Amino acid sequence: MSYKDKIKTDLFPTIWCPGCGIGLIMTQLATVMDDLGLDKSNTVMVTGIGCTGRMGAYMQFDSVYTLHGRTLPVAEAIATVRPELNVIVVSGDGDLTSIGGNHLLHAIRRNPRIKVLCNNNEIYGLTGGQTGPTTPVGTKTVSSPAGATFSPVNLQGLVNTNPNAFYAKTTVYHQGQMRRAIKEAIEWPGFAFVDITSQCIENNGRRIGFPSANEMLNYYKKEYRQAPPGSTQLANHQLGIVKGKPAETEPVPVGAASGNGSGEA
């Protein structure tokens, strides 16, 4: 088997712009799925709206293409009723942290056994490059021509509010590290979040001065550094994995313990 068997190459070329980072994420995800023996019988994907959300259509898995921002409750529902399945969410930074931000807070709190790959291009890519909650202060966008004003959300801090959760930071330049982060996330016995910095060359990169995707990738190469082994917190532009303490029991499916809705008195 090869990672290519996980991808519908017959649908190529994809709708993604040449030089977009999303394809690099798909390739590494497919490679890990191949290594771990993930296939249609044991895995389902859930994607959101945005350029990133189209990944589900290009992979050889059953997938749910949810409403904007609604990947996490859909994924939690699947993980609850089909606990034997691997549930993998692939979603944009806007989808997960803006319109889906409330779901993100509560998914982190409940520690469901779902794995989230966040394509963090620091922008709303599909809709033309508007400022989102991950856009760094000062970045010029179509909706903030003088530069984004507000501090971006701290994804690591949010995820680590649950001491059992898993957070990894990687970039599309660091392919080997990204692959390890995705693999460990899939193997983690609870909620795992992989925060992948990647380039939206068309609706972000060129506007902020990168002539091509190659320059953006070189920027990631230059700026990002591996965190020292055993780091429990990653500084800005540090790559690594911060693992909480695995939950002692498999996370209880949401709603299973209380009997709510069972109809019993």
Ligand X SMILES: Cc1ncc(C[n+]2csc(CCOP(=O)(O)OP(=O)(O)O)c2C)c(N)n1
- Out of 58, 72, 93, 117, the residue judged to bind ligand X by CB under 6 A: 93
The conformational region for residue 205 under phi > 0 = left, psi -120 to 50 = alpha, else beta, is alpha
49 binds, among Mg ion, ligand SF4, ligand X, none (CB under 5 to 8 A by kind): ligand X
Regarding 200 and contact with ligand SF4 (CB under 6 A), the answer is: yes
Specify whether the CB–CB gap between 129 and 141 falls below 8 A.
yes
- Out of 16, 24, 70, 95, the residue judged to bind ligand X by CB under 6 A: 95
**Distance of CA 224 to CAs 96, 159, 235, Å?**
23, 20, 10
Rounded Cα gap, residues 95 and 90, in angstroms = 10
Q: Which token pair is 62?
A: 């059953």
Rounded Cα gap, residues 49 and 29, in angstroms = 19
Regarding 134 and contact with ligand SF4 (CB under 6 A), the answer is: no
- Out of 16, 61, 124, 188, the residue judged to bind ligand X by CB under 6 A: 124
Regarding 172 and contact with ligand SF4 (CB under 6 A), the answer is: no
For residue 168, the minimal CB distance to ligand X (Å) is 19
Stretches 9-17, 118-126, 150-158, 254-262: which one binds ligand X (CB under 6 A)?
118-126
Dump strand ranges (E) for 113-230: 114-120, 166-171, 192-197, 225-226
Phi then psi dihedrals of residue 222, to 5 deg: -75, -40
- Out of 51, 108, 182, 194, the residue judged to bind ligand SF4 by CB under 6 A: 51
- Out of 7, 49, 114, 201, the residue judged to bind ligand SF4 by CB under 6 A: 201
CB nearer to Mg ion: give 132 or 244.
132
CB nearer to ligand SF4: give 140 or 180.
140
For residue 69, the minimal CB distance to ligand SF4 (Å) is 17
Evaluate the omega torsion of the peptide bond into residue 133 and state whether it is cis, within 30 degrees of 0. Answer: no
Nearest to 195 by CA among 132, 258, 115: 115
State the first-to-last Cα distance of the chain, in angstroms, to the nearest integer.
Answer: 52
Regarding 190 and contact with Mg ion (CB under 5 A), the answer is: no
CB nearer to ligand X: give 111 or 135.
135
Residues forming contacts to ligand SF4 in the complex (CB under 6 A) are 16-17, 20, 22, 51, 121, 125-126, 200-203
The residue ranges that bind ligand X (CB under 6 A) are 49-52, 68, 92-95, 99, 119, 121, 123-127, 132, 200
